[in-house]
Amino acid sequence: MIIDAHIHLWDRLHGDDLGIEREALSWGRARQNGKVYYAAPPSFKDSRSTYELALAHMDWLGIDRAVVLQEFMDGKQDDYLFEVRAACPHRFSCMALFDRHYYDDPLGSFEKAIVRGKLQGLLVKSPVPFPELVTPRLLPLWQACAERALPIVLKNGKSAEIRRLIAAVPGVRLVLSHFAGVLEDPEDYEEKLRLTASEPNVTIDSGALTYLQRYPFPLAKEKLHEAVELVGASKIAWGSDYPRPGLVADSSYKQQLEFITVDCDFLTDEQREQILSGTALRVYQWD
């Protein structure tokens, strides 16, 4: 089995959540505050990243399942992911987007997205726009996630705040996305690797590990090798960051997968199996 633990889907591309003027154009392009950029590769005719298109790419490469993360750059997609869950419950594990509404009504927002909408975890972007996560008001939300073994995927979280969250909610299941911030502060990245190695319920995904690198990604290979030695393959899940242009256009979706299946020749068969499916099967919820 192969699971891509880091993809992005969206229907209507928008900036409503942040008060940003953003709209989809065509051929992968979008406009934000008057500036045109690529939200997806130019093969995406209507600039939408639909689950049908993702399934076509996955079936082409033999990828069985995927974890759908969200990002403010696409606009909140909870409503669309409710549809994805109803249409393809066996192929996608879908994360709700933590936004300002969770500060106003944590458990009410949880009820809407998780209980009624049947999404299967949360994507939280910290420290921007949410620098403080361990507050009395938010603790019941994190406890509800821990009680249901729902993963909380942290994008860009700092190690000190992550440790505070683990201390406040023992057993909380955390995923450090974007390879624990490998492209950010080197000292904090190393600290997050040590944290992952020491905490049983913390894992990392490899989304963006190959960002702006040419295939076969020698720097990413070096970083993955180091991480496998330090935290173990059972703490790492492969993710492509599909369909971000800086990844699957500069290289290709096939090369993202072959980076693990072919080029990382230091991996044993057991380690490769853990990275390609074992970790994601344990961490995320699947129908």
pLDDT tens for the chain, 287 residues: list them.
999 999 999 999 999 988 899 999 999 999 999 999 999 999 999 999 999 999 999 999 999 999 999 999 999 999 999 999 999 999 999 999 999 999 999 999 999 999 999 999 999 999 999 999 999 999 999 999 999 999 999 999 999 999 999 999 999 999 999 999 998 999 999 999 999 999 999 999 999 999 888 889 999 999 999 999 999 999 999 999 999 976 655 678 999 999 999 999 999 999 999 999 999 999 999 99
Q: What is the chain's length?
A: 287
Residue 195 burial (CB count, 10 A)? 21
Indicate the domain borders of the chain: 3-12+50-283
Backbone angles phi, psi at 248, to 5 degrees: -85, 5
The architecture that CATH gives domain 3-12+50-283 is Alpha-Beta Barrel (3.20)
- Evaluated on CA atoms 254, 80, 21, 105, the torsion sign reads negative
Among 275, 268, 206, CA closest to 234: 275
Tokens of residue 145, six digits: 């996630």
Q: Cα separation of 2 and 66, whole Å? A: 9
Give the three-state DSSP class for 131. coil
The answer to whether 241 and 200 have CB atoms below 8 angstroms apart is: no
Strand partners, 10: 49
CA distances from 61 to 4, 221, 263 (A): 11, 21, 16
Q: Cα separation of 114 and 240, whole Å? A: 25
Q: Cα separation of 119 and 142, whole Å? A: 15
Backbone angles phi, psi at 151, to 5 degrees: -75, 140
The answer to whether 66 and 55 have CB atoms below 8 angstroms apart is: no
Q: Cα separation of 8 and 29, whole Å? A: 16
Q: Cα separation of 284 and 273, whole Å? A: 16
Q: What is the pLDDT of residue 212?
A: 84
Tokens of residue 184, six digits: 């950010």
Q: What is the pLDDT of residue 245?
A: 79
pTM as predicted: 0.96
- What is the enclosing helix (H) or strand (E) of 205? strand 202-205
Q: What is the pLDDT of residue 248?
A: 53
Q: What is the pLDDT of residue 247?
A: 61
Describe the strand order of the beta sheet including 29-32 as a list of residue ranges.
22-24, 29-32, 35-38
